[in-house]
Amino acid sequence: MEAKIYDNQGKESGTLVLPEKVFGFPRNDELVRQVYLSEKANARKVLAHTKDRSEVSGGGKKPWQQKGTGRARHGSSRSPIWVGGGISHGPRKDRNYAEKINKKAKRKAIFTILSQKLKDGEIFFMDDLSLPKAKTKDAKEILRNMPLGNSSVLVVLSRKDEPTWRALRNLKNVSVKEARNLNASDLLSNKFLIILEDASRVLEETFSK
């Protein structure tokens, strides 16, 4: 299995032999959906939180005597039926939405997405994308040479190159990720992928173990 390699000018500069065990997987929508939803659930942050009657302030003293006032009996103003009292059955931040993902399933989902994107022509391999001056203008010019249109693109680097990272992160619809940290959510959230030649080898080494 071979793919074209492009240079910074958007011109073909050679070919790259791709491993079948990474880019040759059949389509499996159910697995991809399961892994994607699990990753989203694991990344979910629970912010909504209400206090029950044991957590609200005040209410230590009985509001009025038990009998003789003509009013209903109450033992504390922290009761849920009082204004300013605790909340019954409200949302709690200790709720856990995490779901387990098997490593093999996660790897297979990544391979499945990569394989499908390659078949759909949504992956471009580049020999180099180094931007030592960290200029966003230069990064924009390089990406303009690629047939990406206005669609979102994920640039996959072999390692974190700080100048290149800074140059790309300010561009609209452009994300940057190290190959070893890829996941299904990243791949599905972007239309196109730009994978550097050395990053493709990192993908194979990291996820094919």
Q: What is the pLDDT of residues 68-111, one digit of tens each?
A: 999 999 999 999 999 999 999 999 988 888 999 999 999 999 99
Return the amino acid letter for 145.
N
Quick one: 25 and 79 in the same domain? no
Quick one: 12 and 109 in the same domain? yes
Quick one: 15 and 57 in the same domain? no
Question: With pLDDT > 70 as the criterion, what percentage of the chain qualifies?
Answer: 99
Quick one: 103 and 200 in the same domain? yes
Quick one: 112 and 24 in the same domain? yes
Instruction: Choose the weakest-confidence range: 62-71, 95-104, 128-137, 157-166.
Output: 128-137
Give me the pLDDT at residue 42, please: 93
Quick one: 108 and 20 in the same domain? yes
| pLDDT tens per residue, range 11-34 | 888 888 888 888 989 999 999 999
CATH number reported for the structural domain that contains residue 185 in this entry: 3.40.1370.10
Quick one: 154 and 191 in the same domain? yes
Question: If 0-12 CB within 10 Å is exposed, 13-18 middle and 19+ buried, where does residue 42 land?
Answer: middle
d(Cα 199, Cα 194) in Å, to the nearest integer?
A: 10
Quick one: 63 and 132 in the same domain? no
Quick one: 104 and 19 in the same domain? yes
Return the amino acid letter for 73.
R
Q: If we measure between CA atoms, which residue out of 120, 104, 117 comes closest to residue 156?
A: 117
Quick one: 26 and 88 in the same domain? no
Quick one: 74 and 6 in the same domain? no
Task: Give the residue numbers spanning the domain of 80.
Answer: 47-96
Q: If we measure between CA atoms, which residue out of 199, 191, 188 comes closest to residue 125?
A: 199
Q: What total of structural domains would you count in the chain?
A: 2
Quick one: 154 and 128 in the same domain? yes
